[in-house]
Structure 1
Amino acid sequence: MATRKRSHPALPSTTQERAPENLGLHIRELRSERRWSLSELSSRSGIAASTLSKVENDTLSLTYDRLLMVARGFGMSLSEFLAPRGDAGTSSQGIARISWARFGSGERVVTGAYKYDYLCGNLRQKRMIPLVAEVRARTLEEFGPLLRHEGEEFVFVLEGRVEVNTEFYAPEVLEKGEGVYIDSRQGHAYLNASDGVSIILSVNSETPKDNMITD
């Protein structure tokens, strides 16, 4: 029997290939359902209305920490925010829940520093946010401000080499097959330290909805 060859999971090429099909449209629809203006969402999320307008018009995307801010502005967890619209089939908290991360699956979000694939999006309430990301930025200047958000995260290098920069520790380079566990509240950035492509698996703890501030 022939053995099927499997290459490294390819990242989708555009932001429109995964659910939510279009991040800007997704935000606009949620805002429209609530009859909120951009100013209202800005007030609730802490993100400037001009930035939200650019996202809705597909001229700007959002980093992980800002996606969290938008989700909480809507009173949602990030997993609920990223879940396909109308999909409630695997939303319960029962012990029988399961979600497969199939080849090429995930909700795609592209930023200047990363290409994110958020996995297992059909589970609307999760304690962890698993994602695969291509690390694009090679310098802190290119990366921009360090990311900070609630929770903890584990990062594991699947391909290439990744330089881990944090607010309180000297930079360290992770080789393929190595990882790090950090408190995400400290500023952090992952940089591509290889000559080619670097890809990481990241698992982030989700903030329980009961701990969110929505007003």
Structure 2
Amino acid sequence: MKSPHPTIGGLLRSLRARNKWTLKQMSERSGIPLSTLSKIEHDRLSLTYDKLQQLSERLNIRMSELFAEETVNGGVPTVTARRSIGRVRDAVRIDGKNYESFYLCPELRHKRMTPAVTHLRARSLDEFGPYARNSGEEFVYVLEGTVVLHTEFYDPLPLQRGESVYIDANMGHAYVIGADSEAATIMTVSASDDDQGALEALMAAQGTR
């Protein structure tokens, strides 16, 4: 049965088609073995978020480009006047050990921010394992349950539904389910350093800085 969500395999096929790469060329560029890449493209294997980060670095593209479906017109217009309605049923699902994330608005390319709805799985830092680290900055809003944010420089921070936090995502961090909750869901909006620079340039051009 076909997945209701865009898949990593489908997105990689679109990325390869946009760049006119053969499967072998993409394998050489990404460092993913040819047979493994073929299985990913046919949705027989998937990639964790960490592996996706490594892939974006090897291909020298933004993470937001990995989560963008192919569009008819290429290029980035100066003024996009675009709009995208984020629905979980249309999102790209990434299933990992600690998080189940749904990356919203996948049809938009060259996004300056990457929005996602994430269900937490770990209930302690020990269960979570090594801290996560992402390029750029991250805003998190608690949609459901109690969340505890662990970071390498601060004491654990409990966050209730409706509360939020903004962090340097390069800092080691982990979101876990609070002791008084059965489950917890967060909304994240992240921007890499390159994306943020583009956003600041746009704000300056519009006179909003």
TM-score range, shorter chain: 0.7 to 0.9
Counterpart Cα distance in 1 of 2:75 and 2:28: 33
Aligned to 1:195: 181
SS of corresponding position for 2:61: coil
Give the percent of matched residue pairs that are identical in Structure 1 and Structure 2. Answer: 34
SS of corresponding position for 1:141: helix
Letter in 1 for 2:30: L
Identify if the C-alpha distance between structure 1 residues 122 and 138 changes in structure 2 by more than 3 Å, giving closer, same or farther. Answer: same
Match of 2:190 among 176, 201, 204: 204
* Higher relative helix content: 2
Match of 1:80 among 46, 57, 65: 65
Q: State the TM-score, normalizing by the size of structure 2.
A: 0.75
Q: State the TM-score, normalizing by the size of structure 1.
A: 0.73
Identify if the C-alpha distance between structure 1 residues 144 and 162 changes in structure 2 by more than 3 Å, giving closer, same or farther. Answer: same
Match of 1:170 among 135, 145, 155: 155
Q: CA deviation at 1:27?
A: 4.0
Identify if the C-alpha distance between structure 1 residues 177 and 15 changes in structure 2 by more than 3 Å, giving closer, same or farther. Answer: farther
What's the RMSD between the two structures over aligned residues? 3.2
Match of 2:30 among 32, 35, 41: 41
SS of corresponding position for 1:149: coil
Identify if the C-alpha distance between structure 1 residues 148 and 108 changes in structure 2 by more than 3 Å, giving closer, same or farther. Answer: same
2:4 paired with 1:17: yes
2:144 paired with 1:153: no
Letter in 2 for 1:190: Y
Counterpart Cα distance in 2 of 1:158 and 1:126: 23
Aligned to 2:97: 112
Letter in 2 for 1:36: Q
Aligned to 1:5: none
Identify if the C-alpha distance between structure 1 residues 111 and 91 changes in structure 2 by more than 3 Å, giving closer, same or farther. Answer: farther
Q: Is the 8 A contact 2:4 2:90 kept in 1?
A: no
Q: CA deviation at 1:135?
A: 0.8
SS of corresponding position for 1:17: coil
Letter in 2 for 1:72: E
- Where do 5+ consecutive residues of structure 1 fail to align? 1-13, 43-47
Letter in 2 for 1:110: D
Aligned to 1:137: 122
